[in-house]
Amino acid sequence: MAARLLVMPGDGIGPEITAATLRVLEAASAAHGLGLEFEEAPVGLAALAAEGTTLPAATMARARQADGLVLGPLDTYAYPPRAEGGINASAAFRTGLDLHANIRPARTRPGLPAPCGRAFDLVVMRENTEGFYADRNMHDGPGEMLVTEDVAIALRRITRAASTRIAEAAFALAATRPAAKVTAVHKANVLAKSDGLFLDCCRAVAARHPGIAYDEVIVDAMAAHLVRRPEAFDVVVTTNMYGDILSDQASEMSGGLGLAASLNCSETQAMAQAQHGAAPDIAGRGIANPASLIGSAAMLLRWLAPRRGAPELAAAGAAIEDALDAALADPATRTADLGGRTGTMDFAAALAARLGG
């Protein structure tokens, strides 16, 4: 059976880069005989205007039934309070579908100058369902509170189960990569209990994988090491907030957030999602770089391949990534954020042409 993907365009530039991503997926589907099927569901500000909530119950129900999800950026800063319908759909999918692993690759590309001036290829494996993020670390209600008008408190949740499974995911990924190395990033010198528990879990998993190199780096030192020697790292495993920050840093160093692919996944479901935000300031102008969401969709196809016994899905994902490399290496097909003049849909058309569609 063909894979059925649920597409949610989101806010700001979301509809534009989602349309571009669909153009590329359709070309890859035709070229590789995938027979992909696409359905669209509302989220974000359009859903709020039409249904009174940024995440309609019907959209969540359809997400549970889909083979894979493609989510456009969300302008959560513009949402009303949750009681008035403002739900962060990204967080809701991550917790509601238990998409515990956020895989964020960052690599320099041939022919595209990198801001850091050094070649590197790493992946941040970010725990996705707990940590300091107040919208996903409590069973009921937010994980932060205003004690008085002058005192705010935020709670952090770190569990053995979540820490162990993200560490297992990191070591499984490292086993497929040439460097075969995992670096655990933490702040256990200050957060001794919570990051201490996270490190205990990482060390236990490391002991079960003696063939994979393992080390640990404090998070502030890691930010500096990424600038100085990014090539020293392979798979970086860490908690939610650290992973969010460090992956953005690594992606910007590799060429920009517009290139930053991201996959949220569990063992049974996955969601492609651009690493960047909704960029409402350039929405509707047709100049947004769709590479991040396109690369995320390629990751989704690769994730689907072994689960559906369909190597052609993996081949299509690899072909999309190759087409991205080729288009980005050519100044004539770069978007405005990379110093070029190619528009959103023209960039997608260039990729589709390289795919044969």
Known catalytic residues? 133, 187, 220, 244, 248
Q: What span, in angstroms and rounded, lies between the C-alpha atoms of 194 and 196?
A: 5
What does 158-204 look like in DSSP terms, one character per residue?
Answer: --HHHHHHHHHHHHHHHTTSSS-EEEEEE-TTTSTTHHHHHHHHHHH
Q: Cα–Cα distances in Å, from 334 out to 86, 249, 258, 279, 338?
A: 35, 21, 11, 18, 6
Q: Which two tokens stand for residue 12?
A: 């700001």
Does an H or E element contain 206, and which? Answer: helix 194-207
Q: Which two tokens stand for residue 231?
A: 């090539």
Burial 188-202 (b: 16+ CB within 10 A, else e): beebeebbebbbebb
Q: What span, in angstroms and rounded, lies between the C-alpha atoms of 32 and 305?
A: 13
Q: Which one-letter DSSP state was computed for residue 335?
A: B
DSSP lists the bridge partners of residue 148 as 151
